[in-house]
Structure 1
């Protein structure tokens, strides 16, 4: 069911007031908010106004045994194409494994998860700080539920050959009511034994699965890369490596 897309803003102490009242994927009856003309550069749709909610605004949940599917659509990037971006992309995955929370040297907290989709390429997803504390806790506490997540504006890194991580501006939707999410959960439940074997084999650290040899169309010369990389963040290049004759130790640190 289509509707009107509108932005609503909550300020100051009212944020805490609404923090547990408004939940994703639910519908509400709202009255008593402030409606104001929206600046054109902040508009999210053709609707000309935005709302401001405050502690005098009345909010009542619309109780629905079977909430409708989200009226919006998402465009997702395949795992096999992530190397093309190495910056930010949107993905849809099932969370299958949770690691322990880690305290980083810079005072940040992280938690790693193994995620997978129909491509059967388990991959590491690292949640940082508030993502680790909020969505990470929820996912870890319900790890057996085959939670489907949509990760928006995630950063793609070459840690563990290829992995995903949150960054400021990222977004995570847990079990969104979409037909695609329902189909992915059904797929996982039908293939969970095979996925469990891949996790047991640590396929999320296997370069042959995460970064298989590129096709000839994806390989460019070093000379062409100098121009291409001005606009494209990553590229496969072909060439020869020469090491300097100096005595130097090389090392590699495994992150998990």
Structure 2
């Protein structure tokens, strides 16, 4: 049979009459149907050249073949429909193609062991390298971390309100971050982590997104997978680190070292720092960029604070002495608190630009707190 098999690199969109020997390196849980999607299970396969390609089984075929693929097992497969992945953010493997299996697909066990150990297919990214992935939602990275605390669930208002579940995560690199689980991870992986967060579980997060909402933070996307019991050899070392650093973990929680104002940010290489004139002259303003300059307060008559929600920090136009309902976090009958805010000018040798700074960053500039 091996002589009739092709490699992943030779797959073509809508190709027919093909056979391949593939190794199962990832099997997700079955995701429940929603008003917009059917139930499905995702898979990730590798071949003898260590290229990878994702697969999917939809609702109507789950009863027939939903449990047929076993992790770290090889199969001869054929006849699955090959389609192109239109959005690179949904790509799990090295190849921008997807195999859709149904009950007619050829699936036969093979007797070949994995060419590499399972963790080798999922190289781990350092916490201190996360800065370079800001705004790059299509990049595939993997994180091993310890969940040390669960934050209260929040409802994000909008045209389609969503519930999110946030956790504090850290590893031996001592860069605590917030991990945000969006639906459909809240009711499954999120619920499981809520139950065991006090035990400091070690998890591997495959293909999260790096965001700047909380400084540097992580969140799930459609192709994310959360391994609650990862078969990685680094687990034992990280478990020892937990036992030796419980005082530091308590300090993270007590001092909220994961919050944006308390985070340590790694500056970029000098070559990645832009001149202000380059930013101002850009046809399309970059989403994230670094500049280096001198800060000046050019208007001393400005208000140095703004009213904000005491729970979520969202700004509000409510008077400081009135109770109001926050439309961002749905907190009702609460009084706003002052949040420091400054309008400043940042200058370098090439130009200057106007900016505003808030929270502890503003307080550090003027040497005063908002309260």
TM-score, normalised relative to structure 1 = 0.69
Unaligned runs of 5+ in 2: 1-22, 24-45, 86-90, 110-116, 314-371
> Is 1:10 equivalent to 2:57 in the alignment?
yes
How big is the shift at 1:94? 1.2
Secondary structure of the corresponding residue to residue 126 of structure 1: strand
Secondary structure of the corresponding residue to residue 164 of structure 1: strand
Question: In terms of mean alpha carbon deviation, does 126-135 or 228-237 score higher?
Answer: 228-237
Secondary structure of the corresponding residue to residue 263 of structure 2: helix
TM-score, normalised relative to structure 2 = 0.51
Distance 2:118 2:217 in 1: 30
Alignment of 1:1-256 (within 5 A): 4=47, 7-15=54-62, 21=67, 26-27=71-72, 35-36=78-79, 39=82, 52-54=101-103, 69-76=118-125, 78-87=126-135, 88=137, 90=141, 91-106=143-158, 107-143=161-197, 144-159=199-214, 161-205=215-259, 207-211=261-265, 214=267, 217=270, 219-226=273-280, 233-241=288-296, 242-243=298-299, 250-253=306-309, 255=312
Larger radius of gyration: 2
Cα 1:150–1:198 change in 2 (3 A) is same
Unaligned runs of 5+ in 1: 61-67
Pairwise CA RMSD: 4.3
Q: Is the 8 A contact 2:171 2:238 kept in 1?
A: yes
Distance 1:168 1:6 in 2: 16
Q: Is the 8 A contact 1:127 1:136 kept in 2?
A: yes
Bigger RCO of structures 1 and 2 (CA < 8 A, at least 6 apart): 1
The alignment covers a number of residue pairs equal to 241
Secondary structure of the corresponding residue to residue 190 of structure 2: helix
Distance 1:16 1:155 in 2: 36
Distance 1:117 1:255 in 2: 26
